[in-house]
Amino acid sequence: MVALNTTVIAWVIFAVILVGWIVYFFLNKASARRELGSEAEMAPNRRTYYDDDVLEGRRLERMQILGVLLLLTLVIGLPAVWIHEPARQAGAVAGKNERFRFWGEELFQTTANGGFNCAGCHGGLKATGGQAPYAVTDPNTGEVKAVNWYAPALNTVFYRFSQDEVRFILQYGRPFSPMSAWGSLGGGPMTDQNIETLLVYLQSIQIKPTAGTCLTKADFVDKADPYVCDGGTLPQTNKDEITNAVKAYQAAHPGASEGEALFNSDLSSGAYSCARCHTQGWSYGDPGVTAQGGMGWNLTGGSTNAHFPNETDMISFIKAGSQMGKKYGMQGQGSGRMPGFGHLLTDEQIKAIVDYVRSL
């Protein structure tokens, strides 16, 4: 459509110029002096010009007025452009964001709608969480099994990961799971530009925090990580969903603590849980020993307590998550793949989880 318009406009301009040249050609030809014998008329440089009275009178004044008018145009015009400049720049950024968001949405669409099917696995365009069909092979028996793998809600992904961390996930995927590497860095089909537009789209579908000023449109591209500002917390409806999920888990598993329920919560396809990364097989309904390790470390048998002799250190680690290259606990070095839960869960909920993990 755009290409078509540009082509049409180019043809119109071309036609106007062509007609202009033809008209000019004939007018010029008509007014042109005959070549031979036309010197009979006196050459212009030898004719007498206006005398001084004319030159220093109205003619001069007209030129001076013209000069003042041009000066006025500059004096008024330049500041007018300058005053408008910040708004113009903001408009350019907003326009770019909107285009990126739109392109990202096209990539995010289901296969049927011409996209890369993020929506198909992650629960629609709003990415509220879904399941992905997958085949797992038993390493011992070689038996292949069809399973459904939880694909976590992404409308809170910037509450747990920074922009760089999400970019890494999109580039390299999760190699053991249905989440394939999408970026060219990981061997996937998408360019870096595709990944950037997807990031802008993901930012646009985040649940808006109740407190804090971030997560507005203007913040999407230029603000530093992480995207949810200090003080930004989930709206009450989402908090209620979490407490209801805890109650539902406790009803199904009598005697389960709040920490155990939160650790294993399948709410929003595991978006709020720990088990999807720390319990092998949990994501596809065939969990091994709880917390004995998957993509995230084994948290049982006291190793975690050895890594975090101090409970408060462990609490702050879980609130912030790991960061690429940064030290955590006694001797841990983060990769950025452990999400932060400080913006998703309350301090009491995180304390309950930590107490549960430390008892394993």
State the residues that interact with ligand HEC by CB under 6 A.
108, 116-118, 120-122, 132, 149, 151-152, 154, 157, 160, 166, 169-170, 174, 177-179, 182, 198, 274, 276-278, 283, 295-297, 299, 303-304, 307, 314, 318, 322, 329, 332, 334-335, 337-339, 341, 353, 357
Min dist. Cβ of residue 317 to ligand HEC (A) = 6
User: 336: which residues sit within 8 A by CB, 6+ positions away?
Assistant: 161, 162, 164, 165, 168, 321, 322, 323, 324
Min dist. Cβ of residue 86 to ligand HEC (A) = 33
> Do 120 and 111 form a contact (C-beta atoms < 8 A)?
yes
Burial label, 197 (beta-carbon count in 10 A; 0-12, 13-18, 19+): buried
Return the number of other C-beta atoms located less than 10 Å from residue 345's C-beta.
Answer: 22
| Residue closer to ligand HEC (CB basis): 170 or 207 | 170
| Residue closer to ligand HEC (CB basis): 154 or 267 | 154
Min dist. Cβ of residue 115 to ligand HEC (A) = 8
Min dist. Cβ of residue 159 to ligand HEC (A) = 9
Dihedral sign (CA 341, 342, 345, 346): positive
Dihedral sign (CA 77, 82, 84, 85): positive
Return the number of other C-beta atoms located less than 10 Å from residue 85's C-beta.
Answer: 10
HSE-CB of 121 using CA atoms within 13 angstroms? 18
| Residue closer to ligand HEC (CB basis): 169 or 320 | 169
| Residue closer to ligand HEC (CB basis): 154 or 242 | 154
Min dist. Cβ of residue 213 to ligand HEC (A) = 24
| Residue closer to ligand HEC (CB basis): 97 or 322 | 322
Min dist. Cβ of residue 325 to ligand HEC (A) = 10
197 closest CA partner among 113, 96, 88, 93: 96
| Residue closer to ligand HEC (CB basis): 120 or 209 | 120
Min dist. Cβ of residue 166 to ligand HEC (A) = 5
| Residue closer to ligand HEC (CB basis): 200 or 214 | 200
> Do 265 and 245 form a contact (C-beta atoms < 8 A)?
yes
From first CA to last CA, the distance across the chain in angstroms is: 61
